[in-house]
Amino acid sequence: MTSSSVDWRNRFGSTWLTKVKDQGGCGSCYIYGSVGVFEAMLRIEHHVWCRRDEDDVKNAISLTFGAASACGGGGPDHVLTWITANGVTDQITAPSSKISLGHPTPDRLGRTSRLDKDGIVAVKKAHVTLSGVEQMKQWVDLTGPITACFNCYPDLDKSCKDDAVYTPPANGTAGSDGHCVMIVGYDDHKKAWLIRNSWGTGWGTGGYGWFAYGTAGKNDENALEHRVCYGIPGGATNPDPWSKRRLHNGNFYESGNGTYHRNFEVFAQGPGGAVRHYVQNGKTLEWSLHETLPEVTLAPDFKKKGNDCAAQPTVFGSTYFRNFEILYLTTANELRHRLFDQTSQTWIDHGPLKNAAVKPAAPIMSAGGVPGFIQAAPGAPGNFELVVKNSQGGLDNWWRDDANNNAKWALKATFGANVRLSGATLVQRWAKGGAPYADLPAGLDLVCVTGEKVMQRFWRDDPNKAGWVACETFGNNVDSPPVMIRSQFGATDETVPGNYELCVAVDGAIEHWWMNGNPEPTTSGSWTMSEIFQTDRKGRKVKQVLGMVESSYGFDLEVVAELDNGALQHFSRDGAGWHAREVFA
């Protein structure tokens, strides 16, 4: 039996809808309704805020049909079909800059969330046509918001204040225009749909309103159920790597691959310096060895092929076509960058990183440990950032300027002292006010292990151009590299930073630490250890944590750790706490 009421603004104890938008004077409600449903389904299915840019669709329609066409009206079916073919990008820059399909950034394809028409075989489309009250309610209850288009009368413009229920005029009333909204809930007690409009927060109750069910023979022709609605199956949604960039670190990544676009990918050091790629199938949840990466050419003359991986890699999915980018310490203490090119489905070896600022270019060296390696703003494409331990016991921050596409690495800063271990803990902070734009300075955070075996956070204070600043210390007796992400906990909407989550192996067990992410901490954040958990393998201990993800599975935290016998084990945390899962390597 369908639930008697649903409200996706706050359901199951979480928030699922982005901030209310405003279409302004443009007749583009059909775009806002469709993109809004897509955004909501990305959040509901993958548990990540994934704000999309309606201008991406508007510009494409204008390019195809003329400058005024996007504001000239249309229907959701066409928009959702276009999204299935092209995806929708994020709001890359300030709205005035007009970067979109007509003027794309070089990495647009990697910044688009996608709809997969092949994912749901029963439909053979990435969106479903719903007809009638029963189907609409079932879909809203069991999947998520839907579009609704109707005869819109002028009295709606000033209605729905203070949660009042709007009743549409009687059948045959003149003076309506076509309008589209999202249905984001319903209440059988009120006998009304909960709609989300695209007229800003000044309309209705904060941009939302209750719209009465139609009454047959009276006003049903003006009701929301009079015309078909459109819904998107959650399994068809495929979020972009840019939106997920803070949700993973280390050798562990949730890609958009697989039937439900939730495969886990793990890259680990294998025998003889090889790099192995393991995958957890998102449908069967079975782990398997997917491949061993091809051998690379080795120094000194680069004529000999072999393997040179000397430590666990760090990986992420970049905005370059969703490529996998991996970086690892080599047997020569250099840092090798390799990528899986999604367009050709082949591995490309970029070789050891070189410092382009000196002539001839010299290898970038590391004094050991796990590199912090991410793609971050500013820049579109976002710059690559790297932090590793140097031979003087400090940390080096290298960067690659992707915005100017010169692909050259340069030293940005050297900071810290008495560093024992670096880790896969580099994460990007939020720009002031949570703005999604790439051109606002945000800064970085990093946690390392000091010579006293405690953890210390460093903050690159970009807004104040203050460089790297030493911050609080926490933990004790730490002798393995930590892994850190920014989760969705506490991120009540897409502009609010989530909490820091950190896992580290201490004395054979894993400690899970977290820190409030809102407001962004300055130099004195307060960490709390939430739980210590262990492997369930008899006689075994955890040697080090290798990777961490906040996954599509209901805000679950996922960890991959190396045991003291070299095996790799998966751990996860759901509503009931941490669980030791499969040993897969």
Partner 1 sequence: MGGKMSDSNPGPVFARGCDLSAVPLAADVAPADLKAILGVDTSNPYLRNLRIEQGFLKRETLPDGLRNLVPIKGILEPLPIREEPK
Residues 55-74 that bind partner 1 (CB under 8 A): 71-74
84 binds partner 1 (CB under 8 A): no
Site for partner 1 in 529-558 (CB under 8 A): 530, 552-555
Distance in Å, CB of 3 to partner 1, minimum:
6
395 neighbors 446 (Cβ within 8 angstroms): yes
Q: Which is nearer to partner 1, 451 or 554 (CB)?
A: 554
Is 139 an interacting residue with respect to partner 1 (CB under 8 A)?
yes
Question: Shortest distance, CB of residue 142 to partner 1, whole angstroms?
Answer: 5
Using rule CB under 8 A, residue 401 touches partner 1: no
Footprint on residues 322-361 left by partner 1 (CB under 8 A): none
Contact between 216 and partner 1 (CB under 8 A)? no
How many CB atoms are closer than 10 A to CB 188? 13
DSSP states of 423-488 as a string? -B--EE-PPGGG---TTS---EEEEEEETTS-EEEEEEETTTT-EEEEEEEE-SS--S--EEEE-S
Whichever of 225 and 396 has its CB closer to partner 1, that residue is 225
DSSP code at position 563: E
| Smaller CB separation from partner 1, 138 or 333 | 138
Among 151, 255, 428, 544, binds partner 1 (CB under 8 A): 151
**Strand boundaries in 507-556, DSSP class E:** 509-515, 527-533, 542-550
The only residue of 102, 175, 272, 463 in contact with partner 1, by rule CB under 8 A: 175
**Which of the residues 434 through 493 are near partner 1 (CB under 8 A)?**
489-490
Give, in order, the Cα–Cα distances in Å from 433 to each of 75, 236, 295, 463, 495.
Answer: 34, 32, 46, 12, 7
Q: Binder to partner 1 among 159, 312, 390, 450 (CB under 8 A)?
A: 159
Site for partner 1 in 492-511 (CB under 8 A): 499
Backbone torsions φ then ψ of 282, nearest 5 degrees: -70, -10
Exposed e or buried b for every residue in 516-529, given b needs 16+ CB within 10 A? bbeebbeeebebee
Q: Which of 1, 217, 300, 519 binds partner 1 (CB under 8 A)?
A: 1
User: Does residue 45 belong to the site contacting partner 1 (CB under 8 A)?
Assistant: yes
Whichever of 102 and 154 has its CB closer to partner 1, that residue is: 154
- Residue 138 touches partner 1, criterion: CB under 8 A: yes
Say if strands 419-421 and 444-450 run parallel, antiparallel, or are unpaired.
antiparallel
Count Cα neighbours of 526 within 13 Å in the Cβ-side half-sphere: 3
Exposure of 60 in the CB half-sphere (CA atoms within 13 A): 19
C-beta of 167 vs 425, nearer to partner 1:
167
Residues 266-285 that bind partner 1 (CB under 8 A): 283-285
In the three-class reduction of DSSP (H, G, I as helix; E, B as strand; rest coil), residue 319 is classed as: coil
Q: Which of 227, 350, 408, 453 binds partner 1 (CB under 8 A)?
A: 227
Which of 179, 276, 457, 486 lies at the binding interface for partner 1 (CB under 8 A)? 179
The full DSSP string for 35-46 is: HHHHHHHHHHHH
Q: Which stretch binds partner 1 (CB under 8 A): 227-235, 289-297, 372-380, 393-401?
A: 227-235
**Piece in contact with partner 1 (CB under 8 A), picked from 98-106, 170-178, 271-279, 358-366:** 170-178
Q: State which H helix or E strand residue 148 sits in.
A: strand 146-152
Q: For residues 370 and 360, give the distance between their C-alpha atoms in angstroms, rounded to a whole number.
A: 27
